[in-house]
Structure 1
């Protein structure tokens, strides 16, 4: 989840089973990584769609172009957001400031994906187990 001062969220696959991960067959790990990737891409795509635009149709400071995904732990963890220090203002848009209301795009995208996430993981694992 994003915290104040950061403009990204972390999507994890099978966080509760982290200790047992080493015992899972490689095919299951790959299926889970595929589900994490699909969810991360869906969040990224929604963020790009939701980034505030000005009256000319341009997004705020080119944030649409710089939202990114970083994968860790063999693809089972995905961080989605802005990682370039030049994109620091994404935090101000997400949470607002004293003088400007919040215009979030990251959290709404994450919340839209939340109900689909478990289903994506389950579907990918079922495909392997068939």
Structure 2
């Protein structure tokens, strides 16, 4: 499996820039679709949680990550238990409030379709 991944990464690395852009666009479309679905699934109290959902580029070519939480949803002050990210409390629940999963359930539900769409884009680029 690792050899397959390395071979794939080598193939992608050798693609002309125009084909890399085509593939990057397809990946961005899927990341944006996932982010929109996560936003739609997020419970809304103040809107900060929903608005914290972002698509971020990583250091690797053709890799994006969808995130929720962070600075927009941090509560509390630094102390012995650190800061608390409200996004995690919503996703997993607390002793006082039940979980309201919005992130991972959405990602798992959409994963097969996203994978299929990106696979089709890769096949199209490699033709």
Normalising to structure 1: TM-score of the pair?
0.68
Partner of 1:4: none
Q: Give the alignment partner of residue 57 of structure 2, picking from 55, 60, 71.
A: 71
Note the residue ranges of structure 2 that are not aligned, 5 or more in a row.
Answer: 74-84
Partner of 1:114: 111
The C-alpha deviation readout for 1:1-25, integer Å capped at 9, x for no partner, is xxxxxxxxxxxxxx93464142233
Q: Work out whether 1:42 is the aligned partner of 2:23.
A: no
- Partners of 1:45 and 1:19 lie apart in 2 by 28
Tell me if structure 2 keeps the 8 A contact 1:94–1:102: yes
Partner of 2:67: 81
- Partners of 1:116 and 1:129 lie apart in 2 by 20
Note the residue ranges of structure 1 that are not aligned, 5 or more in a row.
Answer: 1-14, 53-58
Q: Work out whether 1:123 is the aligned partner of 2:120.
A: yes
Larger relative contact order (Cα-Cα within 8 Å, sequence gap ≥ 6): 1
Partner of 1:16: 5
- Structure with bigger gyration radius: 2
SS at 2:46 equivalent:
helix
